A and B are shown apart, each in its own frame.
Chain A
Amino acid sequence: EPEVTQTPSHQVTQMGQEVILRCVPISNHLYFYWYRQILGQKVEFLVSFYNNEISEKSEIFDDQFSVERPDGSNFTLKIRSTKLEDSAMYFCASSVGLAVYNEQFFGPGTRLTVL
């Protein structure tokens, strides 16, 4: 069964450093998403991406964040200058299409630890 994959599974970085989290969405999916989950808290939407551009972003997704689809398979989230409060699980998700029947399937996540 096709699945979303993410690398790395765990990333440790120093505050102020840049990190890139990578995702390979399900191959026939057209919409891609990033969510995060701080330990013990709920899953929060960051950004959605379609046709090589951001379609919606949350207030969390500020100027330190960016997303890119550098090739036909990868979807990346870059955090330019990490802060302690960026420590969280970051989940990539993908869906076949927008509209009502928009079932999103999640990857296993990347645990980001900022020291």
Chain B
Amino acid sequence: QKEVEQNSGPLSVPEGAIASLNCTYSDRGSQSFFWYRQYSGKSPELIMSIYSNGDKEDGRFTAQLNKASQYVSLLIRDSQPSDSATYLCAVNGASYDKVIFGPGTSLSVIP
């Protein structure tokens, strides 16, 4: 069974701090990795995708991928209260047909 694991949290950070969210996956054949943000009662919103080892930056967000360690992370710089949400790590399997989601990490940014 292919799995995607995340710490469920809640992770609390003060406003302006860096939030660090982590994810591990079990399928070594995975090649596509995504971070979605989900506000309570809403649908997942794609915020980052990463396909190669290393870092990818987009505004305040940085995704990091280490395929050897089967590890993906998301850093949120200058965290804002509006960043408070559940962050879902998602991974494509070898078939690419589906995205397997982790259980999500709940982030709370304290003003």
Contacts and interface: CB of A to CB of B under 8 A. Distances in A.
B92 A102 contact: yes
Contacts of B102: 42
Which applies to chain B's interface (DSSP): helix, strand, loop or mixed? Answer: loop
B44 A91 contact: yes
User: How many of chain A's residues touch chain B, expressed as a range?
Assistant: 20 to 34
Interface of B: 31-32, 34, 36, 42-46, 49, 51, 88, 90, 92, 95-104
Contacts of A58: 98
Is the contact region of chain A dominated by helix, strand, or loop, or is it mixed? loop
Interface in A86-115: 89, 91, 98-109
B97 A56 contact: yes
Top 3 nearest A-B pairs by Cβ distance?
A56-B97, A45-B98, A43-B101
Interface of A: 33, 41-45, 48, 55-56, 58, 89, 91, 98-109
A45 B44 CA distance: 13
A91 B43 contact: yes
